[in-house]
Chains A and B, each alone.
Chain A
């Protein structure tokens, strides 16, 4: 429930009490005048003033009423004070102001109703409080709390009088009057919910919880015990002395119990708090240790851009001494030219919450104490600690990484240059090395054509050898060029069916003749990740090789498949042909190395070198096993070997 609603409800209750009594006087209904059977009546003047006070409170219940309403409320409150003051003054000076009989004089005289002194005192207290209710200031607050405490205690005393049947201070304050004052005092307290007792009651603090629990008990326990004691005494169970002792003992026991219970609950709350504090200290300690041992600089700053925390790495990286960073602007860690952008970004984030750097990792330039600049990588985070916005950045000196990147870039450029030089070289080879060969062949032919009849058989044969040599060299040049092209062409990786390629190559060999005699055994469904064009070149060479060296067998057999070899899953091409001596296996994959004389098997010795290059470009390995006269098996993988992790 809103405090202003409580306040308004209390005001309405006070008005209702007053109005009921007035109606009672007017219609001569005794119960309404007395509030309860056998009690004293509420004087009609009291009733009117209570209504006035209730109206003043009602007008002040909401904190922000327009000035006219506030002035009206203060005027009404002043009237209340005036009436109460007049009555009190009359008592003190024995000067009889005819207030009691001002309304319904005949009926008042008949009943002997009076405006009680306690009620007059309360009118002064609550009236003053109501007049001050909407004024501000520390002193107002103190005065207000004192006035309301006074009226509250007076009212409590009157109510206890009714409870215990005492006749206090020249005639009691009527029961309904007392209840009306209780309502007024409570309402006035709730009209300023943020201070004094109400603030404490409503507060979300351990103190608030304690007050909420203790206050009702502290008020009710003595009241109830006092009433029980009185009942016992009236029943003749004990005399005044015994009753007092009994009352004191029971009160002590009850309050001691209450105190013990409160202490327990405070202790529990405190234990919980200590536990949380311990956890917090642990977490804080963990953070400090981590931050202190971190290799990266960790720097915190507040919303004003001043450094609030830094770790040892920050001192080391930025080369500042221990006391030179705390409280200094964070901009001292960056070059001047970035200051404006930094400040603008900070202002924008604080104003709009729109973050450009926070939550990301960016590369920036840092500045050391001596002014030298270096590249840093920054991860920035921001959060609120209570009312403060905190920014914390983790900065890594990436000078080494930048240098490594530069070196890598330089190497890449060198490689690029080397490659393009190779391109130019290959172009030149293809063009210039072939031209003389054409001349050798062409003019040999010309000699044979033009003067062949002047040569003997041997001379003509020599020219034939010259022409063969020229043509062979042209073939070598072409093979070499193809090899270099394979190395330079960009490589892609996709899923490739090696089985399909092998089958296509085999059927091509069968179409063109030489493969027809062989038995081809190709394992189906072998897939690999690689460049389809390069892998086709590799398989072409391997299968052609196998076919070439098994040609002389009566029943050539060529296999393509996959198996476990040398500890890895490897593809293989196997033939039952001439084989080779394992002693020379290292030479197999070097360009222009041949293990068989040219007369026996044709070829330039580039084929296997080409295959090896393709395999190497895929990150794989190639090796061969064989025995002279018993065939050869070429194994290859297409990816780096999976070495088990330690």
Chain B
């Protein structure tokens, strides 16, 4: 579980701190890369822009994706990920405030692996983070690592 890496796409600094805190509380010590909008997330994943030259053979084992993001929104990020051979099979968990039926439907329609609403109650959030970690980083068998181009 230690060598697996998480990409957290989150524009709200408070939520970022709380998410990291919830993960640490559950002793999930994996590396967490934080990007603060959809455009940065795409640049990171495809090794462009600010992340020019990044070794793209190294891909996150889990992406925690907020939907409401500046510049490029979460659903668009998801669409682009699923359209690319290199990122198509990355596990993506949508972690957001919205419970609008439309968002849930669109998220799954675009190939999200899971959809979780952030609870206001931090205790519930901590519990959610724990279950997330256990499921996606321990129980779940991820896709085989791809050789980079």
Contact = CB atoms under 8 A, between A and B. Distances in A.
Contact of A438 (B68, B98, B99, B120): B120
Nearest to B25: A449
Interface in B1-34: 12, 14-15, 17-18, 21
Contact of A437 (B17, B96, B100, B120): B120
A474 interface: yes
B122 interface: yes
B123 interface: yes
Interface string B95-121: 011111000000000000000001111
A490 to B, nearest CB: 13
B136 interface: no
A444 B14 CA distance: 12
Nearest to A449: B25
A470 interface: yes
Interface residues of A, number: 21
Of B122, B123, B125, the most chain A CB neighbours within 10 A belong to B122
Contacts of B123: 445
A431 B14 contact: no
A430 interface: yes
A617 interface: no
A430 B97 contact: yes
Interface residues of B, number: 19
B122 A438 contact: yes
B100 A438 contact: no
Contacts of A441: 120-122
A474 B120 contact: yes
A432 B96 CA distance: 11
Interface in A452-473: 467, 470-471
Nearest to B123: A445
Contacts of A446: 18, 21, 122
B125 A431 contact: no
Contacts, number: 57
B30 to A, nearest CB: 21
A507 interface: no
B18 A442 contact: yes
A427 interface: yes
B21 A438 contact: no
Contact of A435 (B12, B21, B99, B119): B12
Given A438-B125, A443-B14, A446-B21, A427 B100 contact: yes
Nearest to A438: B120
Contacts of B12: 435
Given A438-B15, A442-B21, A431 B68 contact: yes
Given A427-B98, A431-B68, A445 B122 contact: yes
Contacts of A426: 100
B120 A471 contact: yes
Interface string B58-97: 0000000000100000000000000000000000000011
Nearest to A473: B120
B98 to A, nearest CB: 5
Contacts of B125: 438, 442
Contacts of A434: 97, 118, 120
A431 B18 contact: no
A467 B119 CA distance: 13
Contacts of B99: 430
A443 B13 CA distance: 12
A470 B120 contact: yes
A471 B125 CA distance: 12
A473 to B, nearest CB: 8
What are the 6 A-B residue pairs with the smallest beta carbon separation, nearest first? A474-B120, A439-B14, A442-B18, A442-B122, A445-B122, A431-B97
Interface of A: 426-427, 430-432, 434-439, 441-446, 467, 470-471, 474
24 contacts: A426-B100, A427-B98, A430-B97, A430-B98, A430-B99, A431-B97, A432-B97, A434-B97, A435-B14, A435-B15, A438-B14, A438-B15, A438-B97, A438-B118, A438-B119, A438-B120, A438-B125, A439-B14, A441-B120, A442-B14, A442-B125, A443-B18, A445-B123, A446-B122
